[in-house]
């Protein structure tokens, strides 16, 4: 059965089991016809052309999954060229017919992916809300009264509604991230220059980035890697020099004090606080930082000379076709006339000073974690105040490309209003791959599903592996927990806390008699349906692990323990004979709770 959300792992498994790309294409065609949002696409790949593409793929590469994206359907924002389909940038008078694919599209097609259509956007990629298009306003898949986010509006909705496995957007000010948050998706925003922009209608050419909307971080990173690579036809294309991040104990910068602005949206603020707690549980160190220089840089993108770069992209067209522009887009672009060359240089100088202040904050941080958007609005509210409310969406996004950062937006759960929110993780230039494992862990910990399917579990096959840091993972359940008497045996040799989590439900916990300090016995009982027990996962050097294991007294030992996310880790287990007649404390949920109950 084809799942509601077309993630890569599920489709590859179905293809391995006998599903054909033509079968999937027929499903996509049926879903397009059944869609209740008429504003998603500007141009759909005709049904017969889509069938022909699937048949051609099988003829040229008959073995299932023989190409990285064999038979994977994707959609393309309509400011990115696809040969055979018009490019409009959501302005009919601007439309042209490209004779070749954009570099990124060509690379994805060569990997076996199938284009299902061109998606709607805020005209000329100017906006973060999705209402600035003559083709209509795509809506949030969770509430049709609300905006989908922009400018890559239709691209996000195609993935969130199950029409495509992934889609391409562009991101100048946050357009590859805000729609992800509003539709419970992952948004991959590469470091500027990592993915080439050849064949993309520019918004601000010097800071534009092609992005990926996907169901999981693993999917998005795999797709981005196919698009990566120097293209000398793009003056801003760069050869990547990957940047590393600590494998554990990340120092994560979060908002504090007056810089926490949610424009009255308590639901989003609560979800941000919940994300901070999840980051702590994953072993991160939370560090409040001064967002002011980042915010001031963000304000330059629309309230500074960079708006003149938007005029540079369309100056000849707007000179003859001003009446064909969306009124709000026209107002923004024509506002560029207030800036001259002196302003442009002064803006660069100001950005440079702000960059230095931001670098000072980075001295105490490894990554930033910010709300992807501090709030959301209905379509009617956005249309009533289109510039001010749009600016609210960009409060925590606009700085990223000006400073050259990598970013990954991940779902952050659903508020009391039933709407999704998300957080974005930012890292230094070319930390794109290094950001991915923690971003994936945050998405999985949020347990918010994928797209419109809030209940589905993320496939284990799409999990992003931690980089090999040469350390050994060990799970502790009792006296070695943080703050407990034997924790020094982990911290002394430099052990690092990875995360706090729970075991699977089939484990019981007992108090071992006659142990000093008191120790628990963890026993696996197949068929027992408990709620899991709180444990910690640490990393230590192989030498420390060896000494640690050697000193473990009987009846304890090290074995494989199943965690509640389905993964397995080496950890403390007890021989069953030792707990006969011992006090069981499973119902308390963990050793820490048991110790607290004794003190009470």
Tell me which residues are annotated as active site.
Answer: 77, 151, 175
What phi and psi, each to the nearest 5 degrees, are found at residue 31?
-70, -35
Q: What is the spatial distance between Cα 190 and Cα 406, in angstroms, rounded to a whole number?
A: 5
> d(Cα 148, Cα 101) in Å, to the nearest integer?
27
Contact between 175 and 400 (Cβ < 8 Å): no
Residues 6+ apart with CB under 8 A from 204: 172, 301, 306, 309, 310, 313
Contact between 161 and 140 under an 8 Å Cβ cutoff? The reply is: no
- Phi/psi-derived region of residue 196, left when phi > 0, alpha when psi is between -120 and 50, beta in every other case: beta
Distance CA 422, CA 219 (A): 18
- Contacts for 503 with CB less than 8 Å, ≥ 6 apart: 477, 522, 532, 533, 535, 561, 562, 563, 564
Give the DSSP letter of residue 155. Answer: H
Is the separation of the CB atoms in 517 and 479 below 8 Å?
A: yes
Burial class (CB in 10 A: 0-12, 13-18, 19+), 466: middle
Written as six digits, the tokens of 579 are 């707990």
As given in the structure block, the two tokens for residue 325 are 């522009």
CA distance 453 to 175: 22
Contacts of 364 (CB under 8 A, 6+ apart): 251, 253, 287, 289
* Dihedral, 461, 453, 444, 196 alpha carbons, nearest 10: 70
Structure tokens at 328: 């709000």
**Cα distances (angstroms) measured from residue 530 to each of 73, 137, 479, 576, 580:** 41, 47, 22, 18, 19
| Beta partners for residue 189, in sequence order | 407
* CB contact set of 588 (below 8 Å; sequence gap of 6+): 509, 594, 597
- Give the chain's radius of gyration (CA, Å): 26
Nearest Cα neighbor of 255 from 239, 241, 271, 238 is 271
Q: Taking a C-beta distance cutoff of 8 angstroms, is the pair 170, 151 a contact?
A: yes
Q: Hey, which residues does 166 pair with through a beta bridge?
A: 74, 214
Residues whose CB is less than 8 angstroms from the CB of residue 304 and which lie 6 or more positions away in sequence, other chains included? 339, 343, 347, 350
Tokens for 395? 């409060």
Burial class (CB in 10 A: 0-12, 13-18, 19+), 407: buried
Structure-block tokens of residue 572: 């403390």
């Amino acid at each position: 059965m084809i799942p509601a959300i077309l993630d890569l792992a599920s489709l590859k498994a179905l293809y391995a089991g006998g599903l054909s790309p033509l079968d999937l294409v027929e499903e996509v065609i049926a879903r397009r016809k059944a869609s209740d949002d008429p504003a998603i696409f500007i141009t759909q790949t005709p049904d017969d052309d889509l069938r022909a593409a699937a048949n051609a793929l099988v003829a040229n590469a008959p073995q299932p999954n023989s190409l990285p994206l064999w038979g994977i359907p994707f959609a393309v924002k309509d400011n990115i060229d696809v040969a055979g389909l018009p490019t409009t940038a959501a302005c009919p008078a601007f439309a042209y017919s490209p004779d070749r694919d954009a570099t990124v599209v060509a690379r994805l097609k060569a990997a076996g992916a199938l284009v299902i259509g061109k998606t709607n956007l805020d005209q000329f990629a100017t906006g973060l809300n999705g209402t600035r298009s003559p083709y209509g306003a795509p809506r949030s898949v969770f509430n049709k009264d609300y905006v989908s986010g922009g400018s890559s509006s239709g691209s996000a909705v195609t993935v969130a509604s199950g029409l495509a496995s992934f889609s391409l957007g562009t991101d100048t000010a946050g357009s590859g991230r805000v729609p992800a948050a509003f539709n419970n998706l992952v948004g991959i925003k590469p470091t500027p220059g990592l993915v080439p922009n050849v064949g993309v209608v520019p918004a601000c050419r010097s800071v534009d980035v092609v992005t990926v909307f996907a169901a999981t971080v693993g999917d998005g990173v795999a797709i981005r890697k196919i698009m990566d690579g120097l293209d000398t036809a793009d003056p801003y294309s760069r050869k990547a020099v990957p940047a590393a991040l600590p494998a554990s104990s990340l120092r994560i910068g979060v908002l504090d004090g007056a810089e926490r602005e949610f424009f009255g949206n308590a639901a989003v603020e609560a979800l941000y606080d919940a994300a901070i707690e999840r980051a702590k549980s994953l072993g991160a160190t939370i560090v409040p930082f001064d967002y002011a220089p980042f915010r001031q840089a963000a304000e330059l993108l629309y309230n500074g000379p960079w708006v003149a770069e938007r005029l540079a992209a369309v100056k000849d067209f707007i000179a003859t076709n001003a009446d064909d522009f969306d009124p709000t887009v026209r107002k923004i672009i024509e506002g560029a006339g207030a800036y001259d060359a002196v302003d442009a240089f002064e803006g660069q100088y100001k950005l440079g000073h702000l960059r230095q202040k931001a670098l000072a904050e980075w001295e105490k941080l490894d990554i930033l974690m910010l709300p992807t958007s501090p709030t959301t609005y209905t379509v009617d509210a956005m249309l009533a105040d289109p510039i001010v409310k749009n600016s609210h969406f960009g409060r925590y996004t606009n700085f990223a490309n000006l400073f050259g950062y990598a970013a990954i937006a991940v779902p952050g759960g659903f508020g009391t209003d039933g709407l999704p929110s998300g957080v974005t993780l930012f890292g230094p230039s070319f930390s794109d791959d290094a950001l991915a494992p923690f971003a994936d862990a945050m998405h999985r910990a949020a347990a918010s599903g994928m797209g419109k399917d809030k209940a589905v579990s993320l496939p284990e096959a799409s999990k992003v592996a931690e980089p090999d840091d040469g350390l050994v993972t060990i799970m502790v359940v009792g006296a070695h927990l943080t703050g407990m008497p034997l924790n020094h045996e982990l911290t002394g040799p430099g052990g690092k806390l990875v995360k706090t989590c729970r075991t699977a439900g089939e484990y019981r916990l007992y108090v071992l008699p006659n142990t000093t300090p008191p120790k628990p016995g963890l026993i696996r009982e197949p068929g027992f349906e408990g709620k899991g027990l709180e444990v910690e996962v640490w990393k230590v050097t192989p030498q420390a692990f060896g000494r640690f294991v050697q000193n473990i007294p009987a009846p304890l030992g090290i074995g494989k323990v199943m965690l509640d996310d389905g993964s397995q880790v080496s950890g403390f287990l007890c021989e069953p004979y030792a707990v006969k007649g011992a006090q069981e404390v499973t119902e308390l949920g963990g050793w820490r709770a048991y110790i607290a109950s004794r003190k009470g």
